[in-house]
Structure 1
Amino acid sequence: MARPATHDSAADRIRRQVEKAGPDAVFHAGQFLELASRDAIDKALSRLVESGFLKRLARGLYHQPRIHPVLGEILPPVEALAKALADRDHVKLQPFGGYAANLLRLSEQVPARVVFLTDGKARKIRYGSQTIELRRASPRMMAAAGRTTGLVIAALRYIGKDHITPARMAHLRELLSPEDRRRLLEDLPLAPAWMHPWFKTIAGKEDAT
């Protein structure tokens, strides 16, 4: 006797995709459009939020909540939220200021306000104990967005030319991959002139001291 067919709902398909993605993933509805219609996806996401399987991080952004017995709710990294936001809104985001320096381990301070430059709309998003600020920037400031070059430029701007040391540059030379270091030389025209010697130092082409 044939087994009765089971109903595989949009919520079921979303649930499986979320579980495969890992604990730090952030999602938006557009990532699930291959699974069902937009209307069905929106309804399924609402049901999954109501059931507690998903939680809204910000408007239209979701994650699978995790609770630590001591620390409480563990949010995905800010960069995971930014990646999903950029993908959803079709914009570029570039870490800026102290956040960029922290990502490159040039600063141990974790800023309460995380700033991204963007070619999209300026806005602020409350994220746990932090505020994420999207600050609209000129095309030149966004030219290297999404690449390691853009991160290095932002971090060096934050540190300032008078506080850059050979030790910090040696750290970046060790941290960055050979491909990233090569790309710094290719992207030299995108950086301010005062950074050029340091870019060459990081790439291993010149001693800026």
Structure 2
Amino acid sequence: MGKHADSTDSKILRRIQARKRGWVFTPDSFTDLGTRRAVDLALMRHRDNGLIRQLARGLYDYPKIDPQLGPLQPSTDDIASALAGRDATRLQPSGAYAANLLGLSTQVPMKVVYLTDGRTRTVQVGKRQITLKHTTPRNMATAGKISGLVIQALRHLGRKNVDQQVIAQLDRRLDDDARKQLVKDIRYAPAWIADIIRSLADRKSAA
């Protein structure tokens, strides 16, 4: 049993070291290398040895190291992607986080919500709270696309708060491919957001 555990340990070590620092992962990244118990024990040893860091229950990273600052925190998207990979789900940034990603808000939220077609769950990583929130197939139809980001950001801001300054900011951020994708996915947007998408398309054609 010890020999098997050592074998699993060394295989996991090689896989971790083959990845770039900053990799965020779960025990499921190693299910082909041993039993779940052997994997968990190996990860505990590598954590205790300082090779990897445990971010939350069942969530680890191979941290980037800054010469002066030491281990750096992983990005919110990397954490969410690791969680999505474990549960085989898709993710769509929403709320204040979507608005921040598009430059429509300067606020960096400490509570980040991703829409998902998987189960609802919340993970606390340091001061950040990351929630995966189950939603409808309609909301997930644009997951991973610029159209999904725009629709969710505008939903967060609300119709009354979307002024010409917001429209101008979006106008600057969207390239030709992004505009085409927005028009293609316009059927998934509420009517008032669909009107904004059309106005952005018209601005482009008038340019």
Correspondence for 2:197: 199
1:101 equivalent among 99, 102, 121: 99
In structure 1, distance between residues paired with 2:202 and 2:136: 30
CA–CA distance in structure 2, aligned partners of residues 173 and 15 of structure 1: 47
For residue 67 of structure 1, report the CA deviation from its aligned partner: 5.5
C-alpha change, 1:113 and 1:66, in structure 2 (3 Å) is same
Question: Counterparts of 2:53 and 2:192 in 1: how far apart (Å)?
Answer: 45
Please, which runs of 5 or more residues in structure 1 have no aligned partner?
1-7
- 1:146 counterpart letter in structure 2: G
| Contact preservation (8 Å) 2:80, 2:130 | no
> Match for residue 146 of structure 1?
144
Q: Deviations over 1:140-193 (max 9, x none)?
A: 222222222111111001112222233433333332343222111111101111
Where 2:137 maps in the other structure, the secondary structure is coil
Given candidates 12, 15, 18, the residue that maps to 1:14 is: 12
**Aligned pairs for 1:102-141 within 5 A:** 102-141=100-139
Partner of 1:5: none
Write 1 or 2 for the structure with the bigger share of helix.
Answer: 2
Q: TM-score, normalised by structure 2?
A: 0.81
Q: Which amino acid aligns with 1:90?
A: A
CA RMSD after TM alignment? 2.6
2:48 counterpart of 1:50: yes
Residue 62 of structure 1, CA deviation: 1.3
The alignment-based identity, stated in percent, is 40
CA distance in 2, matches of 1:122, 1:110: 22
